[in-house]
Amino acid sequence: LTKTWTDACASPTGATIVIPAGTYKCGVVEFKGPCKGPITFQVDGTLQAPTSPDGDSWITFCSFENLAVTGTGTFDGMGSAIYGKQKSKAVVTSRYHKTNWSFNFITNGHMEGVTSKDSKEFHVNVLGCKNLTISKFTVCAPADSPNTDGIHLGRSNGVQILDTKIGTGDDCISVGDGMEQLTVERVTCGPGHGISIGSLGQYAGEMPVKGIFVRNCTLVNTQNGVRIKSWPDQEANDVSDIHFEDIVLDNVDNPIIVDQMYCPSNLCKSKISNVSFKNIRGTCKLPEAITMTCSSAHPCTNVEMCDIDIKCTTGPAKAVCTNVKPVITGIMNPPGC
């Protein structure tokens, strides 16, 4: 593959690399630009990762413009061989994760149709990208597979995730620092931990997060629904212009969460503002359908809740809100805040 990539990258008219139907073992590889023309990486077969957990990323696309990853094939991370040996997320301290594949510093990229299976940790990591679209993508891993976020994004601008199905053992989509102008539409999540902004503020030098739009998504049997979470940060970080709209919940543990209580002694420096939750409906398993726990040092501001209708299957639902006074319009079930 490395030789084929080198030849394709040198073509001024662009090139298509095809992985035909079949099963192929593939070692750790980095496809690096810049290239002279656009590249299409078409995967119709199954690529299998090494069973060894060595390294941070299995397949990396790095530093070029005009990339398309397409096909009907599967990237099999072979994570089932090590899931029982991994530590739980509660004790993981490194910000680096073993990833099925990484998109690093890609401009004008498109991924469509392929499947990521049983990644050792993160399935897809997006870093430093501009104008990237992920569509008709499938993620599958067991519900108890640790740290297997479906798509993690950070320090990128202009990313779309569309018409995608994610079932995994951690966040279906997680948004890290520096993410701007992200659109998530028509995504089905479950099993998994929901769609999360954060955790943020865990590391020094983190960048603001703004312009996140999550619309027309369905969450089924997930631990969480839609969530914003932050840690105590060493430098102030702003989280703003975050919008969740037209969300369907089916048997979700914790549907709506804003959580700054990752912060010991309530010392969060992160500021959360201009957040809306609109037309969020469905069922939950735990009584606290809405939990908004903001910092006393920096209360959440300009929070809007409109047409919320969540029913608990185990008893009356309730809302618990601290250091936030949302503007409420339309239906509000459960009442509160």
Residues with a catalytic annotation lie at 193
- CA atoms within 13 A of residue 96's CA, in its CB half-sphere: 6
State the Cα–Cα distance between residues 231 and 200, nearest whole angstrom: 6
- 42 in Cβ contact with 11 (< 8 Å): no
Give the tokens for residue 101: 């594949």
Q: Which residues of 174-213 are buried (b: 16+ CB within 10 A; e: fewer)?
A: bbbbbbbbbebbbbbbbbbbbbbbbbbbbeeebbbbbbbb
Per-state percent for the chain, helix, strand, coil, to nearest 5 = 5, 55, 40
Contact between 58 and 28 (Cβ < 8 Å) = yes
**Type of residue at 124:** V
Rounded to an integer, what is the distance from CA 183 to the centroid of its chain? 11
Tell me the C-alpha distance between 285 and 46, whole Å: 37
What length is written for the chain? 337
User: Hey, what's the torsion of the CAs at 106, 111, 116, 120, to 10 degrees?
Assistant: 10
The 8-class DSSP code of residue 287 comes to S
The DSSP-derived string for 187-253 is EEE-SSS-EEEEEESSSTTPPPEEEEEEEEEEEES-SEEEEEEE---SS--EEEEEEEEEEEEEEES
* Cβ pair 179, 149 in contact under 8 A: no
